[in-house]
Amino acid sequence: MAIITDGGGGGSTLGACATSPFDQQTTIDNILSRMEELERIVSQMLGYDVTAGQLSDISQQVGWVYGITYMGTPGWIQTAAGTLIPPPGWTFSSSGLLTDSDGNLYQGVLMDSDGVLQYGYTASGGISGVYGGVGKVDIYYGADEITYSSSPGTIRKFTNLIVTDDNGLVTTAADGKVTFTSTGYYLVQTTIEVDYPVAAGTNKKFLHGLGEGSGWYAELFQEEEVTGQSGIYNFIDCCIFRNDGTPNFFYVQVADTGDASGTRTCSIRQMAIVKLAGI
């Protein structure tokens, strides 16, 4: 651009003239060159056959995408960040996403690293999985009594347990076998009443607790001394049963170290089973 110095009138003024034709032509040539480059890039893009493993791989390049069909349902929107937005009216419960291999429909689940259901809320409000039933209780009493006098050291098991509160933690058989329906840690409490005769002797031990029918489970039974004369005693047995699947059952059993005379009468006043935690 030309700079003109005006020195007339006894003074000087510095001013700028209009842009010269050469400068204008340079600017126009620059604009045209950039437009030509843009046309070239657009032509290349229009001719490209873009292939991607999934839309999210190029989502930042293409921006928001509308009208996507996902899981057989049209109308999904994918954002530039790759997030999918479902169409109006879409729900998890109707999608089939929350139906586990056990056939139950879940609103929310917790799986372990192997994909085993640990905890799941079903669509009907129930709880399933390893942690299902935690905090619930089953309560039973014994309909049959155990009566014996000979061979007091023989282990005897209660039969015919009657449920009063059933939350499905266990099942029972006619022979008294109690089987857990899922793995976990359980609190098992039994209240056993025994009418101990004087003929059986005093300062003897009465055994009660859990076993497998002919033997005791280690640490899951107690020995109580019968120190008085004949009378009715109530013994409470409380233990933690870890059911990892082997074993997954127990019997409530009694025996004693008394003399082989006098009739003992035993009954289960109550048996409560509470699931404390899953495994």
Predicted local distance difference test score (pLDDT) of residue 73: 83
Mean pLDDT of the chain: 80
pLDDT tens, position by position, 14-24: 455 566 776 77
SS (H, E, C) 168-189: CCEEECCCCCEEECCCEEEEEE
Rounded CA-CA distance 129/114 in Å is: 14
Backbone phi, psi, residue 244, to 5°: -105, 10
pLDDT of 4 strictly over 90? no
What does the pLDDT average to over 192-209?
92
Bridge partner residues of 236 (DSSP): 191
Q: Please report which residue ranges of the chain form alpha helices under DSSP H.
A: 21-47, 59-62, 92-95
Predicted local distance difference test score (pLDDT) of residue 50: 58
Report the percentage of the chain scoring pLDDT > 70. 70
In this predicted structure, which of 128-142, 151-165, 168-182, 261-275 has the lowest mean pLDDT? 128-142
pLDDT of 3 strictly over 50? no
In this predicted structure, which of 36-45, 77-86, 104-113 has the lowest mean pLDDT? 104-113
What does the pLDDT average to over 50-73?
72
Of 105, 235, 116, 103, which Cα lies nearest the Cα of 182?
116
Of 259, 196, 250, which Cα lies nearest the Cα of 218?
250
Going by pLDDT thresholds of 50, 70 and 90, the confidence category of residue 195 is: very high
Q: Are 279 and 188 in contact (CB under 8 A)?
A: no
Going by pLDDT thresholds of 50, 70 and 90, the confidence category of residue 278 is: confident
pLDDT of 244 strictly over 70? yes
Contacts of 144 (CB under 8 A, 6+ apart): 158, 159, 160
Rounded CA-CA distance 259/77 in Å is: 83
Q: Are 184 and 241 in contact (CB under 8 A)?
A: no
Bridge partner residues of 235 (DSSP): 192
The one-letter amino acid at 223: E
Name the 3-class secondary structure at 263: coil
The one-letter amino acid at 255: A
Rounded CA-CA distance 169/243 in Å is: 12
In this predicted structure, which of 4-8, 192-196, 250-254 has the lowest mean pLDDT? 4-8
Cα 243 to chain centroid, rounded:
18
What does the pLDDT average to over 20-29?
75
